[in-house]
């Protein structure tokens, strides 16, 4: 059956050469360098987080290596007043949007303070329930529209999330009411071990936007400039009152689904992994910047050292943060505790005092 095509956006090829100048974003040299710095920083941070998880110093963690262009490029296209609703792998977007890294570490450990967002940081804690953030994003976007605020709700899910009912419900609601929302599907080819071809008969995930009556676009998720350009277009379209957009970002996670026992060698071939390794977003963008004399080995080393220092500082702060208590957890549940929780808090406080 013939399907309605969706646009595919790519700015740089695997060698860092410009292949489509029409989508080349208007970024200053400083902004281009900042994109690279953030991707290098995130790769180093991810490598350290994987090691910390293996050492038992973090709890739940979903590796991000390979998806930096998709994550960093899309967040870079937002404003701080825009609201991000991430999935569990989308910690980098949340941190670059203002979530302190030490709180991200506490979140990984299950500490309640991890999800207590500082004033002015417009995100929710990364959502564990697959697809639930899609519906929440439409709710946030509806609030922006009702208040006539020029703000956008941007949310993320993986390819597996498009198989959830919440994905269709949230997107359809946003389309029906013309809400200022952007839905980003980071298609890293596998929902844990299930390949995309076994999840859907659709040629692309982007074309699922057609049923909701909204634009859908597919972007090379290993190309940070393409991701930025597609997201900027969608965000500004939403901000101007023209409704939501679905973006399918074609990317790949180099590591396991999570650090909770997943072994990607059981469902991914070595040839497939090597094929995607040739598309490494850091290598591609580095080549482009070097061709314009905007990035050097010294810049790379500085970004690496900055990341190492920041991770160590955040880890130290997380380690020194007061341990969570049951009474403290109960206190965080409501502004005014109902009677049954007051009694439970007092009961646990008495037990901990003994």
Q: Return the ∠ at Cα 37 (arms to 59 and 102), rounded to 5°.
A: 30
Structure tokens at 191: 């929902």
- List, in order, residues 6 or more apart from 337 with CB less than 8 Å away: 330, 331, 345
Six-digit token string for 125: 């804690």
Distance CA 340, CA 148 (A): 40
| DSSP for 186-231, written as a single string | EE-SEETTEEGGGT---S-SGGGHHHHTS-EEEEETT-HHHHHHHH
Alpha-carbon gap, residue 203 to 205, rounded angstroms: 7
Alpha helices in the chain (DSSP H): 29-54, 68-76, 91-96, 101-108, 132-146, 165-177, 209-212, 224-239, 270-277, 281-291, 297-320, 326-331, 339-353
Report the DSSP pairing between strands 194-195 and 190-191: antiparallel
Which DSSP symbol is given to 61? Answer: -
Catalytic residues: 253, 257, 267
């Amino acid at each position: 059956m013939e399907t309605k095509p969706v646009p595919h956006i790519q700015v740089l090829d695997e060698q860092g050469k410009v292949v489509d100048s029409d989508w080349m974003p208007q970024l200053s040299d400083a902004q281009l360098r900042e994109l690279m710095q953030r991707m290098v920083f995130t790769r180093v941070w991810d490598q350290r987080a994987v090691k910390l998880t293996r050492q038992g110093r973090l709890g739940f963690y979903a590796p991000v290596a390979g998806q930096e262009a998709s994550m960093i490029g899309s967040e870079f296209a937002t404003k701080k007043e825009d609201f991000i609703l991430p999935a569990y792998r989308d910690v980098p977007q949340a941190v670059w949007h203002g979530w302190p890294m030490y709180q991200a570490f506490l979140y990984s450990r299950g500490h309640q303070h991890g999800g207590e967002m500082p004033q002015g940081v417009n995100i929710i804690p990364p959502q564990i329930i697959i697809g639930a953030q899609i519906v929440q994003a439409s709710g946030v976007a509806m609030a922006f529209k009702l208040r006539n605020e020029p703000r956008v709700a941007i949310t993320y899910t993986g390819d597996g999330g498009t198989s959830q009912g919440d994905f269709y419900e949230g997107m359809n609601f946003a389309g029906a009411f013309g809400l200022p929302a952007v839905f980003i599907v980071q298609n890293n080819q596998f929902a844990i071990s299930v390949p995309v071809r076994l999840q859907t008969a659709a040629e692309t995930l982007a074309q699922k936007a057609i049923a909701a009556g909204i634009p859908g676009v597919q972007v090379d998720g290993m190309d940070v400039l393409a991701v930025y350009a597609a997201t900027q277009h969608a965000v500004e379209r939403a901000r101007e009152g023209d409704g939501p957009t679905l973006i399918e970002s074609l990317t790949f996670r180099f590591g396991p689904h999570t650090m909770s026992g997943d072994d990607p060698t059981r469902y991914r071939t070595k040839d497939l992994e090597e094929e995607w390794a040739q598309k490494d977003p850091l290598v591609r963008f580095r080549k482009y910047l070097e061709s314009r004399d905007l990035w050097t080995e010294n810049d790379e080393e500085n970004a690496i050292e900055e990341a190492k220092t920041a991770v160590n500082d955040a880890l130290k702060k997380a380690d020194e943060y007061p341990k969570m208590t049951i009474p403290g957890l109960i206190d965080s549940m409501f502004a005014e505790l109902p009677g049954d929780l007051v009694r439970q808090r007092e009961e646990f406080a008495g037990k901990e005092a003994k």
